[in-house]
Structure 1
């Protein structure tokens, strides 16, 4: 019964458990669960470079040299869309979040001594995620122009193995990972304050997603309101499917059907949908920056400046290549960027991971709806260029 329960619902149960019963547990019990979380984090950190390399490389290889002009237009539209929406989130965040959130007293976090895990393991750091990302880009581009079937097959097999490990091992025990860090946060006395603060942020994220989805369909309809509403109605089955499965890739068959109806171009729909499911993440471009901004503000009381955030967006757009195929993958691959650019610590990482996955159904649905709108836009560009 519990295995069939959705991941967001499990995490919601964890939040309720910590809020209601966290104070009843003794320190030894809390430390035990915290130790499990620390080990989980160490294993994930070890695996992350392999996730980044295999997922980005296979994403690039999917482009090959077929229809290079179409793919070039597709990639340009994706990058512009992801970046524009991420910057929209930034300006909305720096304007509204200070009015919605309350800064946590940093001294409370500092004076409360962090727990030392009862048991821990240390795994070697073979490669940083940044190095893995660079290697993936170089390898993927090289293999696209000079194919080596054995190497390509090996990389795809590596991706399949990693997906199997994550989906069959990491994702099922993810609530346990979250439980340990949340119990420690509750032990420090700031859990309820965090919960109250982020509640308003969820409402803001949902509102911004609806605004952005409507705007991108309005652009796709060339600002014809009636046509935009029609496009949205046709695409709605893909939205509901993505919300239920929390997976853009699992929704591909439905997305293709909806895109065919909205574009009348079956070839473009069949080719573009799997690519967009991997790299065009409109919902994530809202939720990830917003959750990052509010977490940073809650813990430090400050927002990143435009220059720092621009670097964050650059890495965000590249790292989204590695996000597909794994529930919550969009936040896992951002861990190194959140730490190195925005200065996140372990507690902040565990909080944003939990909150991201709680809203992942809505975020994924937003991603899929964005895919449908972008295919309409690309189809119209191709028609203007007389590319069939």
Structure 2
């Protein structure tokens, strides 16, 4: 049996090694890893627009082709819960983070100064801008859905497969080495202790926020179906724990489906809603990315207007639909928006990636558990508006 180490343990190991090696590696060795980071950062910049185009367009086309009343209702609930998660997290973060992150601006490496530089770098300009890729993805996705294009959709599906392979076989496996280089640099600059302190506090706060989010979702579901929300949430804990291990909403679908049926949702409806929600309901991922982005921007001293952050949340809720089924996929899909809309640089993006992946299991588990709430609400509304399809 082949033993494989998950992404989260590799990231944790990379952070630990980066901190430890930063105290004794010679300058020339540190510059070797900084050179890798510079090249990898250029590669990310090149891939991100292609990633958005290759993932978002087929995702929108697939949703559009399945248009129907239940699809619209499920998509509206999933998108609504995701937006509530994003805006709720933003306003809660604005209230909590200033005290939590006091003095955090001092933990980031300063630009320039005595920082070591890479040995060399290679420019890899992207073929298009991030917003151009996003708009083109919307145009192609909606167009393919409207004209029911089989040829173009086949091409875009194959392009999506190439992007999935690039992320799964190149980007994700190299992320731990990239994060190692970031923390190696921070240790050499003497600021890693402050970074790790902020890092751990943020994880604790976001985990508490996920509990509040699930209580809200199942309270809404309980009101819609006239059922006990705490009892329903307890039933879905099996799916939550399964998702903690798999780190994949798709891999957890059989368990999520079985637990959703136990909530009283009709099997035929659950079989439609649960797989769809596994793709489009991403309130847990939205919470993590919004909270981390807000915290990192505050630490970096970025003055981001509320209107800009609102636009970021609205676009992120759509962009993440295309996140590939690999650990860390949502944050990779979000990198383009973080850089183009919020002004994140390489260091801030790396901190986002590390923090996100450290909580990836909890975000996925929150998404999966919330899928049960979405199914309960859809079932309750459908029962009131039409005949029972089970009869």
Would you call these one fold, judging by a TM-score over 0.5? yes
Q: Deviations over 1:60-80 (max 9, x none)?
A: 222244452222222221221
Q: Deviations over 1:281-310 (max 9, x none)?
A: 11112111111111111121x663322221
Note if 1:155 corresponds to 2:185: no
- Counterpart of 1:380? 380
Asked whether the equivalents of residues 263 and 375 of structure 1 are also in contact (C-alpha less than 8 Å), the reply is: no
Asked whether the equivalents of residues 224 and 380 of structure 2 are also in contact (C-alpha less than 8 Å), the reply is: no
- Distance change >3 Å, CA 222–CA 178, structure 1 → 2: same
Return the alpha-carbon distance in structure 2 between the equivalents of residues 79 and 226 of structure 1. 23
- Counterpart of 2:135? 134
Partner-residue secondary structure (3-state), 1:117 = coil
Partner-residue secondary structure (3-state), 1:71 = helix
Superposition deviation, residue 223 in structure 1: 8.2
- Counterpart of 2:220? 219
Asked whether the equivalents of residues 249 and 278 of structure 2 are also in contact (C-alpha less than 8 Å), the reply is: yes
Q: Deviations over 1:9-32 (max 9, x none)?
A: 111112222223311111111111
Asked whether the equivalents of residues 51 and 322 of structure 1 are also in contact (C-alpha less than 8 Å), the reply is: no
Q: What stretches of structure 1 move > 6 A for 4+ residues in a row?
A: 223-226
Structure 2 residues without counterparts, runs of 5 or longer: none
Q: Deviations over 1:144-200 (max 9, x none)?
A: 121222221121112122212221222222111111122122222211111111211
- Distance change >3 Å, CA 303–CA 216, structure 1 → 2: farther
Note if 1:89 corresponds to 2:89: yes
Superposition deviation, residue 331 in structure 1: 1.1
Return the alpha-carbon distance in structure 1 between the equivalents of residues 194 and 226 of structure 2. 42
Q: Deviations over 1:363-385 (max 9, x none)?
A: 11111111111111122122222
- Let me know the Cα RMSD of the aligned residues: 2.2
Alignment of 1:61-80 (within 5 A): 61-80=61-80
- Counterpart of 1:144? 145
Q: What's the TM-score once normalised by structure 1's chain length?
A: 0.93
- Counterpart of 1:191? 192
Note if 1:250 corresponds to 2:256: no
Superposition deviation, residue 115 in structure 1: 3.5
Asked whether the equivalents of residues 48 and 335 of structure 2 are also in contact (C-alpha less than 8 Å), the reply is: no
Q: What's the TM-score once normalised by structure 2's chain length?
A: 0.92
Asked whether the equivalents of residues 45 and 125 of structure 2 are also in contact (C-alpha less than 8 Å), the reply is: no
Q: Deviations over 1:97-147 (max 9, x none)?
A: 111112323896135344432132222421222222211211111111212
Alignment of 1:261-300 (within 5 A): 261-300=262-301
- Counterpart of 1:340? 340
Return the alpha-carbon distance in structure 2 between the equivalents of residues 368 and 326 of structure 1. 15
Does 67-76 or 108-117 show the bigger shift?
108-117
Return the alpha-carbon distance in structure 1 between the equivalents of residues 329 and 46 of structure 2. 15
Does 355-364 or 99-108 show the bigger shift?
99-108
- Distance change >3 Å, CA 225–CA 38, structure 1 → 2: farther
- Distance change >3 Å, CA 111–CA 41, structure 1 → 2: closer
Structure 1 residues without counterparts, runs of 5 or longer: none
Q: Deviations over 1:181-224 (max 9, x none)?
A: 22122222211111111211111000010111112112101189
Return the alpha-carbon distance in structure 1 between the equivalents of residues 384 and 110 of structure 2. 58
- Counterpart of 2:24? 24
- Distance change >3 Å, CA 50–CA 186, structure 1 → 2: same
- Counterpart of 1:237? 238
Asked whether the equivalents of residues 328 and 360 of structure 2 are also in contact (C-alpha less than 8 Å), the reply is: yes
Note if 1:308 corresponds to 2:308: yes
Partner-residue secondary structure (3-state), 2:86 = helix
